[in-house]
């Protein structure tokens, strides 16, 4: 039984690798330009281990507390794991996030710039951040309003936060390509080279439009409960 699960984790991972390779080929890009972030939220350590054993090393979680419960033990067994925060971050969790994560995809407001800047300075640890952009004007998803992105990037840099790119979660149920193309242009206009965009249903489209980080959960782990 365990063997079967391992194989299915391996075959899911292989299928996503094939999707990434196909999209890169179509777009004339190198597969090495795209980082696959395996989003393991709501999946337990057993399922995560299967994917690690299949070769995956970069993982994403959307909640600090859940990540704190699962990852310290996993990292003892697999020290070369890279852990990304892909979900909204409360300012009062900034210190915990800086201690635990290697990359934060959800920097989206001035109060969080202040909290993360302070936390990074205190920890002596500069965690690369993506500025999350509210491309669909959906406040509940978080994300910086489009017009405020340049100012947020500037203030983050002033606070000593390494801003590496832009991230978005487009509205559900609409063709995402125009949002991805828009995020790519906004990143270029702001001199940023990295783009965190694309999930299980649309990561190939996102890669064709410039994604450097795709955040894939369901296609790797199956449906969440």
Ligand X SMILES: *Cc1c(COP(=O)(O)O)cnc(C)c1O
CB of 149 to ligand X, least distance (A): 18
CB of 167 to ligand X, least distance (A): 8
Left if phi > 0, otherwise alpha if psi is -120 to 50, otherwise beta: which for 199?
Answer: beta
Identity of the residue, 195 or 216, whose beta carbon is nearer to ligand X in the bound complex: 216
8 A C-beta contact, residue 196 and residue 215: yes
Identity of the residue, 93 or 215, whose beta carbon is nearer to ligand X in the bound complex: 215
CB of 213 to ligand X, least distance (A): 10
Identity of the residue, 20 or 169, whose beta carbon is nearer to ligand X in the bound complex: 169
What are the distances in angstroms from CA 175 to CA 91, 114, 134, 187? 32, 35, 16, 20
Residue numbers of the site for ligand X (CB under 6 A)?
Answer: 39, 41, 62, 86-87, 169, 199-200, 215-219
What's the rounded Cα separation, in Å, for the pair 142 and 176?
17
CB of 63 to ligand X, least distance (A): 9
Identity of the residue, 121 or 177, whose beta carbon is nearer to ligand X in the bound complex: 177
Left if phi > 0, otherwise alpha if psi is -120 to 50, otherwise beta: which for 213?
Answer: beta
């Amino acid at each position: 039984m365990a063997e079967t699960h391992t194989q299915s984790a391996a075959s899911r991972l292989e299928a996503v690798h094939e999707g990434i390779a196909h999209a890169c080929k179509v777009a004339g890009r190198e597969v090495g330009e795209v980082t696959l972030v395996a989003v393991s939220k709501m999946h337990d350590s057993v399922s995560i281990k299967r994917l690690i054993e299949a070769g995956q090393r970069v993982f994403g979680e959307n909640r600090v507390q859940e990540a704190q419960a699962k990852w310290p033990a996993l990292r003892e067994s697999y020290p070369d794991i890279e852990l990304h925060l892909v979900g909204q971050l409360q300012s009062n969790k900034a210190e915990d996030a800086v201690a635990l994560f290697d990359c934060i995809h959800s920097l989206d407001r001035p109060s969080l710039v202040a909290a993360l800047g302070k936390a990074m300075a205190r920890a002596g640890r500069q965690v690369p951040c993506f500025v999350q952009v509210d491309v669909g004007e959906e406040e509940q998803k978080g994300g910086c309003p489009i017009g405020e992105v340049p100012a947020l990037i500037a203030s983050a840099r002033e606070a000593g936060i390494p801003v590496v790119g832009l991230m978005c979660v487009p509205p559900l149920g609409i063709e995402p390509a125009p949002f991805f193309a828009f995020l790519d242009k906004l990143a270029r206009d702001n001199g940023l080279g990295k783009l965190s965009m694309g999930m299980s249903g649309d990561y190939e489209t996102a890669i064709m439009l410039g994604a450097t980080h795709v955040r894939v959960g369901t296609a790797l782990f199956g449906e969440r409960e």
